A and B are shown apart, each in its own frame.
Chain A
Amino acid sequence: MAEEQSNNKGEFEREPVPDSALKGPSKFWGMYAGEHAAGTEFMIGPLFLGAGASLQDLVLGLLLGNVLAVLTWRYLVTPIAMAKRMTLYYQLERIAGGSLTKFYNLINGLLFCFLAGAMVTVSASAVGIPFDITYTVPTETFGFGEMSFTILVVIVGVVMAVIAAAGYETVARVANVAAPWMIAIFAACGLISLGQMEVNSFSALTEGNFWNDAIAFVQEREGPQDFSFWQIVVFAWLCNGAMHFGMADLSIFRFARNASSGWAPAIGMFLGHYMAWIAAALLLAAQIKLSQDHTANPGALAWGALGWTGILCVVIAGWTTANPTIYRAGLAFQGILPKQSRVTMTLLAGAVATLAGAFPNLSAQLLGFVGTYGTVLGPMGAVIFVDYHLMKRFSLVDEYAVRTSSTCNLAVLIAWLLPVSVGLYLIFWQGVFAAFLVIPCWIACGILYLVLSKVTQQALPVTST
Chain B
Amino acid sequence: MLKTLSLAALVLTIFPSLLYVTGVLTLDTVKWIALVGTLVWFAATPLWMGRTLEPDADQVKI
Q: Interface majority SS on A: helix, strand, loop or mixed?
A: helix
- Contact mask for chain B residues 7-27; partner A; CB cutoff 8 A; 1 contact, 0 none: 001100110111011110001
Binary flags per residue of A99-121, CB closer than 8 Å to B gives 1, else 0: 00000000000001001000000
Q: Is A328 an interface residue (CB 8 A)?
A: yes
Decide if A185 is an interface residue (CB 8 Å cutoff): yes
Contact A112 B22 (CB under 8 A): no
CB of B60 closer than 8 Å to a CB of A: yes
A173→B62 contact, CB < 8 A: no
Q: How large is the interface on A (under 10, 10 to 19, 20 to 34, 35 or more residues)?
A: 35 or more
- B25-55 interface code vs A (CB 8 A; 1 in, 0 out): 0010011001101100110011001100111
A188 touches B17 (CB 8 A): yes
Q: Are A306 and B34 in contact (CB under 8 A)?
A: yes
* Interface assignment of A433: CB less than 8 Å from any CB of chain B: no
Is the pair B53, A185 in contact by a Cβ cutoff of 8 Å?
no
B10 proximity list for chain A (CB < 8 A): 180-181, 184
Contacts of A252 in B (CB 8 A): 55-56, 59
Q: Is A38 a contact of B41 with CB atoms below 8 Å?
A: no
Chain A 224-244 interface mask (CB, 8 Å, partner B; 1/0): 000000000000000110010
Interface residues on B, range: 20 to 34
The contact of A172 among B22, B34, B49, B57, by CB within 8 Å, is: B57
Q: Kindly identify which residue among B31, B45, B50 contacts A307, using a CB–CB cutoff of 8 Å.
A: B31
- Give the residues from 246 to 271 in chain A that come closer than 8 angstroms, CB to CB, to chain B: 248-249, 251-252, 255
A184 to B20: give the CA distance in the assembly, Å: 15
Complex Cα spacing A307 to B33, Å: 11
Please, how many angstroms separate the alpha-carbon atoms of A38 and B60 in the complex?
10
What residues of A have a CB within 8 angstroms of the CB of B35 in the complex?
307-309
Contacts of B53 in A (CB 8 A): 9, 169, 172-173, 176
With a cutoff of 8 Å between Cβ atoms, the chain A residues found around residue B38 in the complex are 181, 185, 309, 312
Q: Which residues of B contact A35 (CB under 8 A)?
A: 56, 61
**Which of these binds chain B: A47-55, A191-199, A412-420?**
A191-199
Residues of A within 8 A of B34 (CB): 185, 188, 306-307, 309
Contact A327 B58 (CB under 8 A): yes
Question: Chain A: residues with CB nearer than 8 A to chain B?
Answer: 6, 9, 31, 35-36, 38, 40, 112, 115, 168-169, 172-173, 175-178, 180-181, 184-185, 187-189, 191-192, 194-196, 199-200, 239-240, 243, 248-249, 251-252, 255, 306-309, 312, 321, 324-325, 327-328, 370, 373
